[in-house]
Structure 1
Amino acid sequence: MEKTIDQILQQDQFTKNDIVRLLKSEGKDEKALFAKSSEIKLKYVGNNVYFRGLVEFSNICKKDCLYCGIRASNSKVNRYDIADAEIVKAAKFAHEHRYGSFILQSGERADKQFIGRIENLLKEIKKISNNELGITISLGEQTKETYQRWFNAGAHRYLLRIESSNKELYNKIHPNNKEHSHETRLECLKFLQEIGYQTGTGVMIGLPFQTYDDLANDLLFMQKIDIDMVGMGPFIEHDQTPMYQYKDQLMSLKDRFRLSLKMISVLRIMMKDINIASSTALQAIDPLGREKAIRIGANVIMPNITPTTERANYLLYQNKPCIDEGADDCTNCMEARINMADGEIGYGEWGDSKHYKNKHIK
């Protein structure tokens, strides 16, 4: 006899079939799932929500991922690279507003100049914040030596999204060459964990060709490699990318949104004390998307403090929200959103992954 959703939710471990059932849940079953994940979140990570001031400092990228608006071969993008002084100024803003943490994100590069520049920026941000600002970086695939240099310079969290744990699906959404290798992505995640980063990954939800089995396997993959933090959200197509040709095969934006919430919810139950980000892409579909994610499992939010003049040029997908707001607007907006979701802002705290800490206490 098939298990009920309530019976599945009482289990300590989920099978792939259990996860698929949860991801397909609707109505009262979906409500039961959200109630359970909300309860787990409060018990294991509390109702604190941690700010990560996000600076998308450059959209220059050597990669050519088939879904991404800033892919190297998109000639319609206005390329930019924010000056170091502006990045440091944004870090000062984050520190003065007691964000606790800062994220450096950009298109992917691995040249010597870029690697040295990041190292110097990390040291400077640590210096101007009296070592009080936690730093996450999301700068793609690099060598283990580069990751170590950046770790030594002050970065302690790294987000590298796997995009899909299914190699076949990964290959369908990336060019077929050595610059876009699933094995390299997996190896990089291993390097980050070996060095001692709080390591984060994530996937896009609602991709062309993606199945519920793929998504269930993605969650099991995150559990298996014992990830510390996750940033995942709905796939939103961009009309200047090759993947746009499949737009008519996609599930509706509303369904991608609901599925993303369920992915967050199920992962919170599976990995009770990790950090889960409430992604901006949720808000691109639903004005209250980020609050809904916080209510059912997310505990990290990333106010965008990129200088406003360049925000509109960092479009990985279309209809990205908040591209015309200044950093102050974004802060006030985020505070209101978190209050609406019954969260408490962890001002001045790094908000490190409890999962990471618990692993390293043992």
Structure 2
Amino acid sequence: MRYLIDKLSIKNDLSQEELEVLLTNLTEEDRDYLIDKAYEVRKQYYGNTVFFRGLIEISNICKCDCFYCGIRASNKKASRYRLSKEEILECCYRGYSLGYRTFVFQGGEDSYFSDELLESIIKTLKGKYSDIAITLSLGERGEESFKRLYEAGADRYLLRHETVNEKLYKELHPNMSLDNRKKCLEYLKEIGYQVGSGFLIGLPGLKLTDYAKDLIFLKKLKPHMVGIGPFIPHEDTPLKNENGGTAYDTITLLAIIRLLLPDVLLPATTALGTIDPKGREKGFKAGANVIMPNLSPMECRKKYALYNGKVFLGKESAEEKLKIENSILEAGFQPVLTRGDNVRWKRK
């Protein structure tokens, strides 16, 4: 398999068939070699830096009913909340004082957050701080909505495609369409956002070879950011009894993505840290270079439960930033709290 790893690291490209062969035939030695190559490319583009993003989970109210998600509309056991404009701003002010220069607004598809309200929040923050980046992760919105929020000052938009397996996408996302998801990503790129996509690892029915199609999709999309993470079952969803994804597969795919898209911003996610206490540190050594500590009010963090066992206290807390930084330093990396833009992005 090393010839394929070498080809990937030199050309940053493999065919779908080659990716399938690579994914299904890696030995432990090959995988170590893959991770070493990914680490080399990571250093070439971003050195040993790990960019911090302050995550604010603005609402766990969602109109969607995705089968794997703990905040799905049909989950009557979820304790719902949404943050006010003042609460969101306070989270950002506190985060700025801690040194954060990127804020990520993440939430369910909650119609309360109109274009007007989001514009007001973004403009207030950008008017107060000239050195920050704002990332939105609020699901599917219309092209005009995306434009308005970009013009208000939003810099990035995260919208994972989850899987390009159309049959599985349809089964897991009632009344949603993979085609519309892809159109949203196209709109976001055309408008000028730094665009993030990605997929879930270990969804029921997926095989290793399915990820080759996801990787080819990402290669064609050329996103600025890629977020992947393991599927972790939630007890109040239809998939509660299914097996979850593994840290092993997640880290392997992080390494492949780093070689396929060498300049991409690549988080080591909370989900990875949830299933493996050292998962995020392993992720950094496999090519990841972003971490998103939580700035949400403490009483809301447990309520934003997309899956069981989410890390929401202790080292995940932004208030314990020093501990987070120390764990990154101990792993051999340098925590950085600048905007941390993708190296090829400039605002239009």
Say yes or no: TM over 0.5. Answer: yes
- Percent same amino acid at aligned positions? 39
Comparing 58-67 and 8-17, the one that deviates more = 8-17
What amino acid is aligned across from residue 343 of structure 2 in structure 1? Answer: K
Question: Which residue is equivalent to 1:173?
Answer: 172
Pick from 193, 200, 204: which aligns with 1:208?
204
Does 2:116 match 1:125?
Answer: no
Partner of 1:328: 319
Judge conservation of contact 2:293–2:317 (CA < 8 Å) in 1. no
Q: Which amino acid aligns with 1:116?
A: E
Distance 1:122 1:38 in 2: 35
Q: Which runs of 5+ in 2 are unaligned?
A: none
1:33-52 aligned at under 5 Å gives the runs 33-52=34-53
Query: Is the contact made by 2:59 and 2:110 (CA closer than 8 Å) also made in structure 1?
Result: no
Where does residue 319 of structure 1 map in the other structure? 309
Aligned residue runs from structure 1 range 224-243, under 5 A: 224-243=220-239
**Matching residue's letter, 1:322:** F
CA apart distance, 1:194: 0.7
Match of 1:144 in 2: 143
Paired with 1:51 and 1:38, the residues of 2 have a C-alpha distance of: 19
Letter in 2 for 1:139: L
Contact 1:237–1:243, Cα closer than 8 Å, also in 2: yes
Which one-letter code corresponds to 1:98 in the other structure? G
Aligned to 1:193: 189
Alignment deviations for residues 254-309 of structure 1 (CA, whole Å, 9 cap, x no partner)? xx110000111001001111111111000111111111111110111100111101
Deviation, structure 1 residue 242: 1.1
Q: Is the 1:60–1:72 contact (alpha carbons within 8 Å) kept by the matching residues of 2?
A: yes
**Structural RMSD (CA):** 1.7
Structure 2 counterpart of 1:20, which letter?
A: E
Distance 2:270 2:22 in 1: 24
Query: 1:153, CA displacement in angstroms?
Result: 1.1
Residues 1-362 of structure 1 aligned to structure 2 (within 5 Å): 5-11=1-7, 12=11, 13-24=13-24, 25-110=26-111, 114-128=114-128, 130-175=129-174, 177=175, 180-245=176-241, 247=242, 250=243, 256-323=246-313, 326-329=317-320, 331-347=321-337, 349-356=338-345
Give the unaligned 5+ runs of structure 1. none
Amino acid of the residue matched to residue 316 of structure 1? L
Q: Is the contact made by 2:71 and 2:108 (CA closer than 8 Å) also made in structure 1? A: yes
Distance 2:322 2:336 in 1: 15
Pair 1:232–1:332, CA change in 2 (3 A):
same
Runs of 4+ with >6 A deviation: none
Deviation at 1:142, TM superposition (A): 0.3
**1:34 & 1:193 partners in 2: Cα distance?**
29
TM-score of the superposition, structure 1-length normalised? Answer: 0.90
Which amino acid letter does the alignment assign opposite residue 186 of structure 1? K
In the TM superposition, what whole-angstrom CA distance separates every residue of 1:135-161 from its partner, at most 9, and x where no partner exists? 111010001111111111111100000
TM norm structure 2: 0.94
> How far off its partner does 1:356 sit?
3.1
Amino acid at match of 1:278: A
Give the C-alpha shift of residue 336 in structure 1: 1.8
Give CA-to-partner distance per residue, 1:115-170, whole Å, 9 cap, x none: 22111111112123x22111111010001111111111111100000000121121
Residue 326 of structure 1 and its aligned partner are, at CA, apart by 4.5
Instruction: Output the amino acid matched with 1:335.
Output: E
CA contact (8 A) 2:188 2:195 kept: yes
**Aligned letter for 2:123?**
K
Q: Distance in 1 between matches of 2:233 and 2:331?
A: 28
Aligned length: 342
